[in-house]
Amino acid sequence: MQTTSSHEVRFNLPSIEVAAKVWGDPDGLPVIGLHGWLDNAATFDLIAPRLQGVHLVALDLPGHGLSGHLPAGGYSLWQQAATVLQVAESLGWERFALLGHSMGAIISGILSGTLPERVIGAGLIDGLLPFTSEADDAPKQMARFFEASLALSSKRKPVYRSMEQAVSARVMGGTTPLSREAAGILVERGLMSDHGGWTWRTDPQLMLPSPLRFTSRHALTFIEAIRSPVSLVLANQGVMHKHPQVLERIERFEHIVVHRIDGGHHLHLESQAPEVATILDSFFQGLA
């Protein structure tokens, strides 16, 4: 029986400490949860208690939530994926399933395509293919990264008088629409005290442009290489509804089961959470 409460764990990896929230029976299906960009492990707070028969270890990926930060230039999709594998090794999990939202779903796709013998299956929420650019764009993309990196030292994190002010900032300043209730769940884990107020724990480096992106062919190759089951919950008003060419590509992946639900990018933290959880619960029970 899945417990409704969670507990905290820490993983002392070779180069960083990674924090996580854990739900469920240790004898259940091993699942590693991966949140979206600038979010944290609390992203699964509403759906985790509804997943039966799983042992969910939801990470704060490096630079997010309660986890440590990496040295300059340390963040990439493949670096984050490598951290997931280090956590799996720490847990003694030779084979495991993945639960990913947004960036976490993209990382899940990379891992599933790269190491199909280790990934039992992946439940994804509104994410699959990363943003891409072609080889000819690489010098300009790298230049944007260098310029932004040099300017980073002169920037200061905002300080909010209260958590409520920080929640308002997240609601108003996010890249995708987010309810106040959903923002509150994420913000609580994403803040630290500072000069009598509150500021973000998030590593400012995460705001930098990627120094290098996959080409579209790279991205597709990882997904085409997946051999384990994949269930993808797509938000009809999520991040991909503005990119019909991406949706068209996803629909052509015959090995991925797609479920479309009305809702925004964080639908698993909104009123649609029970519906999302029901789909994922059925998927993980099938894997078990």
The region, left, alpha or beta by phi > 0 then psi within -120 to 50, assigned to residue 93 is beta
Q: How many helices (H) and strands (E) does the chain have?
A: 8, 10
C-alpha–C-alpha distance, residues 106 and 213, integer Å? 13
Map 73-109 to HEC letters.
CCCCHHHHHHHHHHHHHHHCCCCEEEEEECHHHHHHH
Q: Which of 199, 270, 277, 172 minimizes the C-alpha distance to 233?
A: 277
C-alpha–C-alpha distance, residues 274 and 285, integer Å? 16
102 is catalytic: yes
Catalytically annotated residue among 6, 102, 112, 228: 102
Cβ–Cβ < 8 Å for 107, 80: yes
Q: Interhelix angle for 103-114 vs 77-91, to 10°?
A: 70
SS3 219: helix
SS3 226: coil
Distances in whole angstroms, Cα of residue 284 to Cα of each of 130, 147, 277:
24, 44, 10
Catalytic residues: 102
